[in-house]
């Protein structure tokens, strides 16, 4: 019991001191300062929206701009501070205990740790993006996961900050499966994948930005605003009843697995999902909504 309390208190104190260090030292060495990086990338992509707007009539402070800005910081920092770091450290502790109890020492499929750094970076990026693409498919196809993912799809006017509007349970689902897939099955010796993380934040912000970019021929590899807007379409085509364009950073997987769909310019399509008029509008009501849906059975 002691060790669990120790793990939780260590997780909290490590994360709290990391967060505090980020705030007071914008340029600490050896790592990316995510706090200021997020602010910088947000301002830069917002600047693009202001200079080169795709939907010219969309307000600079579009519908839910501040709600999304709050989600952005909540999901990126406060959720970690409040719960996630401790929860994940405890889960890893138990997972390892369960594995060793059943006599499994290692579940490594392939060990990347001896490979050149660039191979490791590339493999890490491709594998983590593919795992996230797969998880995103599940979020649309498994009903209880969809209840959580609806928060992200409740965006009615698209802009960069919508990128990080999601229910905190998505962090738990994505990160657990990424941990299982990446850390346990493939062993990497990357000190810190902050370059990859930094690039994915930028791509994700751009995917949701009000700009009409598709990166030309690179659109078959990189996810982009003109593709991702269709992911948020309210009306789904018969060919893709559970959704389409599930890519996170890369569009590649959608083209490989046939879940790509861009019938025409999606500039003015309606975003959302069926009955989204009745969906709660506030942060706390959106956090509670999926649990309410999952735990209250429909009355006859
Ligand atoms: Zn989605
Ligand atoms: Zn999105």
Q: What is the pLDDT of residue 300?
A: 43
Q: What is the DSSP string of 173-221?
A: HHHHHHIIIIIITEE---S--HHHHHHHHHHHHHHHSSS----GGGGGT
CB neighbour list of residue 47: distance below 8 Å, 6 or more residues apart: none
Residue 176 has pLDDT above 50, yes or no: yes
Structural domain boundaries, residue 176: 2-295
Q: Which two tokens stand for residue 15?
A: 């994360």
Q: What is the Cα–Cα distance from 152 to 6, expressed in whole angstroms?
A: 35
Angle subtended by helix axes 283-295 and 143-153, to nearest 10:
160
Q: How far, in Å, from the CA of 152 to the mean position of ligand 2?
A: 6
Q: What is the Cα–Cα distance from 283 to 166, expressed in whole angstroms?
A: 10
Q: How far, in Å, from the CA of 180 to the mean position of ligand 1?
A: 22
Q: How far, in Å, from the CA of 232 to the mean position of ligand 1?
A: 7
pLDDT (average), residues 231-253: 97
- 268: confidence class by pLDDT, cuts 50, 70, 90: very high
Q: Which two tokens stand for residue 5?
A: 């309390």
Q: How far, in Å, from the CA of 209 to the mean position of ligand 2?
A: 10
Looking only at the bridges linking them, the beta strands covering 186-187 and 110-111 are: parallel
Report the domain count for the chain: 1
Q: How far, in Å, from the CA of 209 to the mean position of ligand 1?
A: 16
Residue 70 falls within a domain, yes or no?
yes
Residue 171 falls within a domain, yes or no?
yes
Tell me the average pLDDT of the chain: 88
Q: What is the pLDDT of residue 210?
A: 97
Residue 219 falls within a domain, yes or no?
yes
Residue 199 has pLDDT above 70, yes or no: yes
Residue 262 falls within a domain, yes or no?
yes
Residue 299 has pLDDT above 60, yes or no: no
Q: What is the Cα–Cα distance from 42 to 68, expressed in whole angstroms?
A: 12
pLDDT (average), residues 10-24: 78
- 203: confidence class by pLDDT, cuts 50, 70, 90: very high
Q: What is the pLDDT of residue 108?
A: 81
Residue 300 falls within a domain, yes or no?
no
Q: How far, in Å, from the CA of 94 to the mean position of ligand 2?
A: 33
Q: What is the pLDDT of residue 144?
A: 93
Q: Which ligand is nearest to the CA of 155?
A: 2
Q: What is the pLDDT of residue 28?
A: 64
- The tens digit of pLDDT for each residue in 85-116 reads 777 777 777 777 788 887 777 778 888 888 88
Q: Which residue has the higher pLDDT, 177 or 49?
A: 49
Q: How far, in Å, from the CA of 74 to the mean position of ligand 2?
A: 17
Q: Which two tokens stand for residue 154?
A: 């409740």
Q: How far, in Å, from the CA of 270 to the mean position of ligand 1?
A: 15
Q: Is the dihedral of CA 187, 193, 196, 200 positive or negative?
A: positive
Q: How far, in Å, from the CA of 140 to the mean position of ligand 1?
A: 6
Q: How far, in Å, from the CA of 211 to the mean position of ligand 2?
A: 14
CB neighbour list of residue 206: distance below 8 Å, 6 or more residues apart: 45, 48, 160, 213, 224, 225
Residue 178 has pLDDT above 90, yes or no: no
- 260: confidence class by pLDDT, cuts 50, 70, 90: very high
- 151: confidence class by pLDDT, cuts 50, 70, 90: very high
Q: How far, in Å, from the CA of 248 to the mean position of ligand 1?
A: 9
């Amino acid at each position: 019991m002691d060790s669990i309390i120790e793990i939780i208190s260590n997780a909290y104190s490590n994360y709290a001191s990391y967060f505090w260090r980020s705030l007071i030292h914008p340029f600490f060495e050896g790592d990316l300062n995510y706090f200021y990086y997020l602010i910088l990338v947000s301002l830069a992509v917002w600047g693009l929206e202001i200079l080169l707007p795709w939907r010219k009539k969309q307000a600079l402070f579009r519908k839910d701009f501040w709600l999304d800005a709050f989600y952005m910081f909540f999901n990126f920092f406060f959720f970690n501070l409040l719960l996630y770091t401790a929860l994940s450290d405890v889960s890893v502790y138990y997972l390892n205990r369960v594995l060793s109890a059943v006599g499994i020492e290692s579940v490594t499929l392939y060990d990347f740790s001896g490979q050149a750094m660039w191979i490791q970076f590339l493999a890490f990026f491709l594998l983590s993006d593919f795992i996230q693409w797969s998880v995103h498919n599940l979020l649309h196809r498994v009903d209880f996961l969809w209840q959580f993912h609806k928060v992200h799809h409740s965006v009615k006017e698209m802009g960069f900050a919508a990128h990080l509007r999601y229910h905190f349970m998505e962090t738990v689902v994505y990160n657990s499966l990424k941990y299982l897939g990446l850390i346990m099955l493939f062993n990497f010796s990357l000190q810190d994948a902050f370059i990859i993380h930094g690039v994915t934040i930028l791509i994700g912000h751009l995917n949701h930005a009000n700009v009409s970019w598709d990166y030309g021929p690179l659109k078959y590899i990189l996810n982009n605003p003109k593709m991702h807007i269709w992911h948020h379409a309210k009306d789904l085509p018969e060919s893709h009843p559970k959704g389409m364009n599930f890519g996170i950073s890369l569009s590649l997987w959608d083209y490989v697995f046939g879940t790509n769909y861009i019938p025409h310019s999606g500039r003015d399509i309606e975003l959302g999902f069926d009955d989204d008029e009745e969906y709660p509008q506030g942060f706390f009501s959106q956090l509670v909504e999926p649990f309410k849906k999952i735990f209250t059975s429909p009355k006859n």
